[in-house]
Structure 1
């Protein structure tokens, strides 16, 4: 994780001393009280102070302002004084996810450059002003959570409305068939049988669409719930092995029906802070996809281990199925996106499974990556920060099958 630490400003003591000389003590104290992320640049546009969040939000990189619009606004404020305020959309640099993903590779030939990591969009309110003749402060208010909630709510309403049309239409057709059947003369049994067949067909359509709508509603509700960030506490410490064991147990019937072997291992005690239901849903979605895209007789594996620096729990779901094209890999975590590698079983999906996985990972302060190649299978890697201290009563035994 050395490269990751350098991304968030691993500055030397000389740098810190220079920062202290550039900023008066009272100014530093005032900035420390501001809840928003702050960045201070000097007359040469070099960053002399920065909150860690400014790196995560894609504002600062290698101790320099990396966003062109903010660079332009700094120049305007320095020339004319006053302040500037505007809205800005950025993306969290994928390096934050890829560095952790590099530690989860299965072998030395696992090419991290070929992995696709989720890159979260950030909706920001940015305000700039001068501290003195040379120093400019940038205040960054991250309003992403509220924006995501509104967007997810709107998507929920839009998609539920669209998905309601088919079952409603099927119900109307069924009602029309039943009405016609009730008026048939009893002395024409062939005509009656024909109508009954139509009624049965329409009833099957109602049943199928109702099940599909139920699936849509369930996934949309899961997606909404996955927008809420998890705050670490003593009450939400989870044993990773227990979550994996529960998922494997719940998905065993699906795997047996597909003639796919499920294997898992967690050789070391791993604990995280989180919502157990969300973690299990995310893992279940990955396992369901892996089983669905695997051929009969193949194996799907879940492997959990700590990252090399001990900061993350790494959970991999590995299959040897048909794989995902490079073009699709960049979009598969988008809501409602459907890749072109569907089969009969997966064609009924709505494209929310991996979006749910992404949001569960991000709201747990982690990330998810995918490595895949057509014909070679896929590896999805879920990375979650480890909790400090073991779960009470955990004995450290390997609960593998």
Structure 2
């Protein structure tokens, strides 16, 4: 094989699929020229090693004649030539069909047996060799599953207020002459309409946040102003439930981020604290600076009903409600804490929870302080 042919192959690899086709063609020619020889030339190894995908040259004895580092990292082959059974089976199918075959194989790795989904495409090169290209599809499959679950959950959540509105409208239509009943049902319709509006708005917000394009215009955000704005806005709903909301600001750190998103996240935490607190109790929002780690620390502390240990692991999931009955009463959608989690993640922060039933809950948000301030 000439130097020009190798250069063409390398250039083809850079440009993508066309390069892969050229590599396969060259390897087929080499395999044809050398008959049953399964030795992989040095130049071929160099080209396959340069691929971002896992690449394996599969032998007829179900072992790898060559594999690059990516293939080993994916767990479909080992440096000693051992091959994942699923890849070997695909190669057998490709040889039998004399055509390209592709499928997904499940790979278990680590002492905990964590599984990943690897997409493998096998091209037969000769009677003794086949080229397998592997790519990790775990995140894509997880994203597809998440989208399906989200669609199912949204449909389920929308059915409840829409169904209630339909029933209330029918009740009003059948009792149009009863003024007192019409007024009562009209209030219920307004409540369900507000719940539906809130649900739709939060669905839009979490979809936008998860799209990864929400924090576009970064700015220096004084967290003390965020706390002041949220506490002031929460006074009306707090007074309606006879809950006192106070701020305890011991520092004035700034962070780089989106002011409106940070306000939304903190407001969700405060609203939850108010809704799950008993009448006459207090909700405290604190802002401090951790001297050891030099990060801003926001806390929302309540003395409410608390969260059980098993539910603490799930409260940041979309549509999860630790107390469904309380959520229906307060109009909760189960999306508030999920929005908090994604906003904090997009600001390179972390959110934690401590809670004990009948004692209360503390939600802690840690954010990196603006570099110029540091």
Structure 2 residue aligned with 1:155: 153
Tell me the TM-score normalised to structure 2 length. Answer: 0.60
Flag the 1:345–1:210 CA change in 2: closer, same or farther, 3 A.
Answer: closer
The answer to whether the Cα contact below 8 Å between 1:89 and 1:123 also exists between their aligned partners in 2 is yes
Is 2:206 aligned against 1:223? yes
Aligned residues: 289
Structure 1 residue aligned with 2:334: 351
How much has 1:167 moved relative to structure 2?
0.4
Give the SS at the match of 2:210.
coil
Structure 2 residue aligned with 1:239: 222
How much has 1:150 moved relative to structure 2?
5.6
Q: Distance in 1 between matches of 2:120 and 2:83?
A: 10
Is 2:197 aligned against 1:199? no
How much has 1:232 moved relative to structure 2?
6.7
Give the SS at the match of 1:199.
helix
Flag the 1:197–1:88 CA change in 2: closer, same or farther, 3 A.
Answer: farther
Structure 1 residue aligned with 2:162: 164
Q: CA RMSD in A?
A: 4.5
Structure 1 residue aligned with 2:15: none
Structure 2 residue aligned with 1:20: none
How much has 1:287 moved relative to structure 2?
0.7
How much has 1:276 moved relative to structure 2?
2.8
The answer to whether the Cα contact below 8 Å between 1:318 and 1:380 also exists between their aligned partners in 2 is yes
How much has 1:206 moved relative to structure 2?
2.1
Flag the 1:367–1:386 CA change in 2: closer, same or farther, 3 A.
Answer: same
1:347-374 Cα distance to aligned partner (Å, 9 max, x none) = 5423222222223233444332211112
Q: Residue 104 of structure 2: which of 72, 86, 89 is its match? A: 86
Is 2:251 aligned against 1:267? yes
Give the SS at the match of 1:303.
strand
1:148-200 Cα distance to aligned partner (Å, 9 max, x none) = 4564355334422442111011112212222xx3xxxxxxxxxxxxx333323
Is 2:309 aligned against 1:326? yes
How much has 1:208 moved relative to structure 2?
2.6
Q: Residue 280 of structure 1: which of 240, 255, 263 is its match? A: 263
Q: Residue 126 of structure 1: which of 118, 135, 141 is its match? A: 118
How much has 1:82 moved relative to structure 2?
7.8
Structure 2 residue aligned with 1:76: 83
Structure 2 residue aligned with 1:112: none
The answer to whether the Cα contact below 8 Å between 2:353 and 2:361 also exists between their aligned partners in 1 is yes
The answer to whether the Cα contact below 8 Å between 2:227 and 2:247 also exists between their aligned partners in 1 is no
Structure 2 residue aligned with 1:113: none
The answer to whether the Cα contact below 8 Å between 1:263 and 1:301 also exists between their aligned partners in 2 is yes
Give the SS at the match of 2:304.
coil
How much has 1:332 moved relative to structure 2?
1.8
The answer to whether the Cα contact below 8 Å between 2:297 and 2:367 also exists between their aligned partners in 1 is yes
Structure 1 residue aligned with 2:19: none
The answer to whether the Cα contact below 8 Å between 2:230 and 2:266 also exists between their aligned partners in 1 is yes
Q: Distance in 2 between matches of 1:317 and 1:89?
A: 42
The answer to whether the Cα contact below 8 Å between 1:303 and 1:317 also exists between their aligned partners in 2 is no
Larger radius of gyration: 2
The answer to whether the Cα contact below 8 Å between 1:286 and 1:380 also exists between their aligned partners in 2 is yes
Structure number with greater CO (CA < 8 Å, separation at least 6) is 1
In structure 1, stretches of 5+ residues that fail to align are: 1-23, 51-63, 91-121, 131-135, 182-194, 391-395, 397-401
Is 2:284 aligned against 1:300? yes
Q: Residue 140 of structure 1: which of 133, 136, 141 is its match? A: 136
The answer to whether the Cα contact below 8 Å between 2:76 and 2:83 also exists between their aligned partners in 1 is yes
The answer to whether the Cα contact below 8 Å between 2:284 and 2:300 also exists between their aligned partners in 1 is yes
Q: Distance in 2 between matches of 1:225 and 1:162?
A: 24
The answer to whether the Cα contact below 8 Å between 2:234 and 2:245 also exists between their aligned partners in 1 is no
The answer to whether the Cα contact below 8 Å between 1:266 and 1:303 also exists between their aligned partners in 2 is yes
In structure 2, stretches of 5+ residues that fail to align are: 1-43, 57-62, 92-101, 109-113, 123-131
The answer to whether the Cα contact below 8 Å between 2:55 and 2:134 also exists between their aligned partners in 1 is yes
How much has 1:213 moved relative to structure 2?
1.9
